[in-house]
Amino acid sequence: MRRLVAVSALLLLAACGGSPPPAAPVASPPGAKAAQAAEQSDPPLAMDARVTKGKLENGLTYYILPHKKPEARAQVWLAVNAGSVLEDDDQRGLAHFVEHMAFNGTKRFPKSEIVDFLEKSGVRFGADLNAYTSFDETVYTLQVPTDKPEILAKAFNVLRDWAGDVTFDPVEVDKERGVVLEEWRLGRGAGMRLFDKRAPVLFHGSKYAERITIGKPEILKTASRDTLYRYYKDWYRPDNMAVIAVGDFTAADIEKQIKAEFSNLPPAAKNAKPRALAEVPAHAQDLYSIETDPEMTATSISVMTKLPKRPHKSAKDYRRVLTEQLYNSMLNARFDEIRRAPNAPFLSAMSYAGGGVRSLDVFSQNATVKEDGIPAGYAALREELLRVEKHGFVKSELERAKASTLRNFQQHVKEYDKRDSRVFSAEIVRNFLTEEAMPGPEKELALAEEMLPTITLEELNVLGKTLGKGSHVLAVAGGPKMVKPTPETFSALDKELAAKDVKPYDDGGEGVPLMAKAPAPGKVTATKSIAEIGVTEWTLSNGVRVVVKPTTFANDEVKLSAFSPGGTSLVKDADFDTARAADTIVSQGGIGPVDAVQLRKSLAGKIASLNPRINELEEGLTGNASPNDLETLMQMVHLTFTAPRKDESAFASWRARETERVKNRRLSPESTFLEDMSLFSTQNHLRRQPTTPESLLKVDLDKALAIYKDRFGDAGDFTFLFVGNVELEKLKPLVETYLGSLPSSGRKETWKDPKVARPSGVAKKVITKGSEPKSRVMLTFHGNEKFTRDTENDMKMLGEALRIRLREVLREDMGGVYGVGANGGIARRPRAEYSFNVSFGCSPENVDKLEKAVFDEIQSVQAQGVSDLYVTKIKEMRKRAHETDLKENSFWLRELERAYVYGDDPKQIQDISAMTEKVTSDRIKAAAKKYLSKTQYILGELKPETTAAAK
């Protein structure tokens, strides 16, 4: 069953928590007989017939789903029904550590051979090869090519070794220990400190409270190889695992491979530990978590009801999920209206009902508020729930929610064959781990079509009250200046609300047509075809250029981008604060006849979105739509140019939200580091100054509207790009009507160079901020360089080589980092220059050692180049990535825009083979010498404020 909302992040997010007022404790789960009777009267939905599901004699489950998106690729996953909640007391953090060890040596793939084999096959570490561990499960994910059978066969070898033959070489364990500790370190900060305090409240009386997945550093530092292996042998066993294969293959062939590869996996021992569910007990009393942290930048409140886990197996379950989605959709629409009002009681809010951890569901309302706004935010959340209980939703709200819900299901059916196989792999994982139904999108649509008309206002109006009958937690988190409430604060507010005369909701009328009549059209005056890449160019009578690439990469998608040179670079410095916010400010007010709230209503049941942008050197639009709703998108485009709205209330609300967002930003060490390094790297340039409460006071609504109208008031030098499932003969009249009618005076502009310059020579800056024992390092090499395809290619291959090399040295050999970034590029505007960046996080005591290692590896590449293995990996990963990119609308939109912005030949997008063949050790060596000079770079270091934290 398609999950309608993301799940356990709500429980884990440090800015969330919470609970409604007192109610009955959670009911005990029904007994086995009752559950059996219920299943007979409401049977589980049948599995999608396209999925082959089986079980081997040893207990291992397998799923196979042929699917051709992406072509010539397969997802090959291993799901283990075991996570950190199953750890023994001396294993806290080791479920995750075991996952790491799977990449560091197995019976058939010693040491790093898994990664080497897969990278040589074009599989990218991180993107195509990864894993995750949570409270309840561990899942390994591979995407591999299927056009070479030997690669797919070897991928199953990898999964089989993960399932039973990880070696846990003691040397590799000790090397990986540092990596896991660096991952722990990377996660430390205000959010994790607050969650450490909140977990015992959220998971009161449960083992979950003591089994945070990342674990305890003292155990990670000292755990023996045998302790790790004990967890592996206890829980990595066939009855606890599933092999999942989704991709471009024949099911029968894959089933043979799975049976051949996994049947010899020994079954679980008779005395194996039972895979018991970790319950979260009910509690009659309300629980509170009210915490502050000196580095927390936002104030949040969460009102949460904890419920026993509800099944997602049957048609009845499906109807419940639909009903809850409608309820929360309507409530969230109301919350969105409230936040847009001047002096709103919260900055944002949402309601959610669904999964938490394996044994827990939650019904919660979460809000971010001002530092002194907790009472007002809490009251607003509770009052809206009370308004629904007393007066209910209104018919027009429900009709919009049903229309949007149904349209989403219809889109899923249309896009089935174009959806990425990862989506179905994840759905299968949920089926295996939680028995969530997977009937297929056609069945889900049929159920939605059958059930949505039967869901009434009456049942929705009491749903909040029903969901509120559980165990309650109220969680508040904020920074050092947060006005801290007490439990009595909320009790008093509840009494006030109970006595309040809560008025019915005023829906404010239905959405209205965006345009009463179509504008007088222009004409296509010239047509050019680029047959090699399937692109058509139109020039319109008003000078607008339109570029169209029809594709079949998605069935229900058309993507749009538009651009024109100019941007904020043409605005004088005195107006810069207003100019950089002008696009956001104007979009807050809606378009044409409708404000932002009315626009949402008008778009109910449609798939169309559009966002204007004013960047430093250009202005433009980004949008997308279903082919069925393309005219709606075109109307939005027309109104975005010709009828921006001045909305003083929306402006006041936006400024209040932005002020609150930025006022405490520098409490975060990471934000401070990035902000200060940006200023240092640009020599404190006026146009690189951060947004502050003071700069927001300078933002003027009338001036913002004037700047916006100047940038979008003349469409004559705009280029529009359309990529997706669009027919030229159907698009052309829409283009002529809605783009050909845009105003144009023949004005031709270009951008101005804001003259932002980096410091010359070697420039270093150390920033001390934060209480955790963590540092960050940012190294940027830079200089002048003319862009050509060759120089771009050289910079790209240098990044690809160093990314692998530094991962191997800093992570795998030294155990000093969790991850390291290395990438470079060449800018063409406003000036021709290159930059190459290396960044990583680490322990403060290792900063100097790791920096030296980076420079040593650079020097090694400059002197010796790289091995043939690196060259093979780079070429194959490029080739494989490009194969899938060429079948993605987003790739073509991005690359076409780049070509038309810079005047490149767009035919070059199609074929990168010439550039790939130029990847050699000598070119990488030469690029390292040319671009990575020890006499020209910027180095930034973030270190903690106290000596104690640094250790």
Return the residue matching tokens 């207003």.
Answer: 578
Show the tokens assigned to 36. 């059996």
Q: Which domains does the chain have, with CATH numbers?
A: 9-28+283-416+428-499 (3.30.830.10), 59-262 (3.30.830.10), 524-668+676-739 (3.30.830.10), 762-950 (3.30.830.10)
- Bridge-based pairing state of the strands 833-842 and 820-827: antiparallel
pLDDT value of residue 354? 85
Q: Report the pLDDT averaged over residues 901-921.
A: 96
Is pLDDT at 20 greater than 90 in this prediction?
A: no
**How many whole angstroms separate alpha carbon 939 and alpha carbon 836?**
12
Question: What residue type is 897 in one-letter code?
Answer: E
Q: b vs e for 622-640, b when ≥16 Cβ sit within 10 Å of the residue's Cβ? A: bbbbbbbbbbbbbbbbbbb
pLDDT value of residue 38? 54
What confidence category does residue 512 fall into, taking pLDDT thresholds of 50, 70 and 90? confident
Give the whole-number percent of the chain exceeding pLDDT 90: 93
Angle between helices 441-451 and 315-339 (to 10 degrees): 70
- Which residues, listed in sequence order, are joined to residue 141 by a DSSP beta bridge? 77, 130
Give every CB contact of residue 602 below 8 A, 6+ residues apart in sequence. Answer: 511, 512, 513, 514, 594
Q: What are phi and psi of 124, to 5 degrees?
A: -95, 125
Give every CB contact of residue 647 below 8 A, 6+ residues apart in sequence. Answer: 588, 589, 590, 595, 596
What confidence category does residue 170 fall into, taking pLDDT thresholds of 50, 70 and 90? very high
pLDDT value of residue 39? 58
What confidence category does residue 510 fall into, taking pLDDT thresholds of 50, 70 and 90? confident
What confidence category does residue 25 fall into, taking pLDDT thresholds of 50, 70 and 90? very low
Angle between helices 113-120 and 149-164 (to 10 degrees): 160
Q: Shortest CA distance to 540 belongs to which of 524, 520, 564, 519?
A: 524
Is residue 190 classed as helix, strand or coil in its secondary structure? helix
**How many whole angstroms separate alpha carbon 132 and alpha carbon 549?**
38
Is pLDDT at 555 greater than 70 in this prediction?
A: yes
Give every CB contact of residue 761 below 8 A, 6+ residues apart in sequence. Answer: 935, 936
**How many whole angstroms separate alpha carbon 906 and alpha carbon 889?**
15
Q: How many CB atoms lie within 10 A of CB 783?
A: 16
pLDDT value of residue 37? 55
For residue range 88-112, list pLDDT tens digits in order: 999 999 999 999 999 999 999 999 9
pLDDT value of residue 509? 74
Is pLDDT at 733 greater than 50 in this prediction?
A: yes
Alpha-carbon distances, residue 880 vs 72, 122, 153, 532, 875 (angstroms): 10, 6, 18, 21, 9
The three-state DSSP-derived secondary structure of 716-773 is CCCEEEEEECCCHHHHHHHHHHHHCCCCCCCCCCCCCCCCCCCCCCEEEEEEECCCCC
Is pLDDT at 18 greater than 60 in this prediction?
A: no
pLDDT value of residue 40? 66
Show the tokens assigned to 173. 């364990």
Q: Shortest CA distance to 206 belongs to which of 136, 279, 275, 306?
A: 279
What confidence category does residue 184 fall into, taking pLDDT thresholds of 50, 70 and 90? very high
Give every CB contact of residue 750 below 8 A, 6+ residues apart in sequence. Answer: 565, 566
279: DSSP letter = -
- Which residues, listed in sequence order, are joined to residue 594 by a DSSP beta bridge? 591
Q: Radius of gyration over alpha carbons of the chain, in Å?
A: 29
Is pLDDT at 950 greater than 90 in this prediction?
A: no
pLDDT value of residue 27? 31
pLDDT value of residue 12? 38
pLDDT value of residue 13? 34
For residue range 623-655, list pLDDT tens digits in order: 999 999 999 999 999 999 999 999 999 999 999
Is pLDDT at 26 greater than 60 in this prediction?
A: no
pLDDT value of residue 946? 78
The three-state DSSP-derived secondary structure of 605-667 is CCCEEEEEEECCCEEEEEEEECHHHHHHHHHHHHHHHHCECCCHHHHHHHHHHHHHHHHCHHH
**How many whole angstroms separate alpha carbon 381 and alpha carbon 898?**
45
Comparison of pLDDT for 27 and 537, the residue scoring more:
537
Question: What residue type is 43 in one-letter code?
Answer: P
Return the residue matching tokens 């096959």.
Answer: 121
What confidence category does residue 573 fall into, taking pLDDT thresholds of 50, 70 and 90? very high
Q: Shortest CA distance to 880 belongs to which of 117, 152, 73, 66?
A: 73
Q: How many CB atoms lie within 10 A of CB 435?
A: 13
If phi > 0 it is left, if psi is from -120 to 50 it is alpha, else beta; for residue 567 that is left
For residue range 188-238, list pLDDT tens digits in order: 999 999 999 999 999 999 999 999 999 999 999 999 999 999 999 999 999
Is pLDDT at 156 greater than 50 in this prediction?
A: yes
Angle at 752 between CA 746 and CA 754, to 5 degrees: 160
Mean pLDDT check: name the lowest of 221-225, 328-332, 911-915. 911-915
Say how many CA atoms lie within 13 Å of 795 toward its Cβ: 22
Max Cα–Cα distance, the chain, nearest Å: 83
Q: What pTM did the predictor assign? A: 0.94
Say how many CA atoms lie within 13 Å of 476 toward its Cβ: 24
Is pLDDT at 863 greater than 80 in this prediction?
A: yes
Burial of 422 (0-12, 13-18, 19+ CB in 10 A): middle
Q: Shortest CA distance to 76 belongs to which of 23, 24, 121, 26?
A: 121
Is pLDDT at 16 greater than 90 in this prediction?
A: no
pLDDT value of residue 567? 98
Q: b vs e for 20-29, b when ≥16 Cβ sit within 10 Å of the residue's Cβ? A: bbebeebeee
For the CA atoms of 228, 233, 239, 245, what is the dihedral angle to 10 degrees?
Answer: 60
**How many whole angstroms separate alpha carbon 158 and alpha carbon 921?**
30
Is pLDDT at 768 greater than 60 in this prediction?
A: yes
Is pLDDT at 240 greater than 60 in this prediction?
A: yes
Q: What are phi and psi of 603, to 5 degrees?
A: -95, 0
- Is residue 300 within 8 Å of residue 13, measured between CB atoms? no
Average pLDDT, the chain: 94
- Is residue 826 within 8 Å of residue 795, measured between CB atoms? yes
56: DSSP letter = -
What confidence category does residue 571 fall into, taking pLDDT thresholds of 50, 70 and 90? very high
Q: Report the pLDDT averaged over residues 142-148.
A: 98
Show the tokens assigned to 248. 């471009």
pLDDT value of residue 36? 54
Helix H or strand E segment including 37 = helix 32-41
Q: What are phi and psi of 582, to 5 degrees?
A: -60, -40
Is pLDDT at 807 greater than 80 in this prediction?
A: yes
State CA 812 to chain mean position distance: 27
For residue range 376-420, list pLDDT tens digits in order: 999 999 999 999 999 999 999 999 999 999 999 999 999 999 999
Is pLDDT at 783 greater than 80 in this prediction?
A: yes
Show the tokens assigned to 752. 């101005």
Q: What are phi and psi of 431, to 5 degrees?
A: -60, -45
Give every CB contact of residue 135 below 8 A, 6+ residues apart in sequence. Answer: 8, 83, 84, 85, 208, 211, 213, 278, 357, 358
Q: Shortest CA distance to 257 belongs to which of 162, 152, 158, 163?
A: 152
Show the tokens assigned to 112. 């790093």
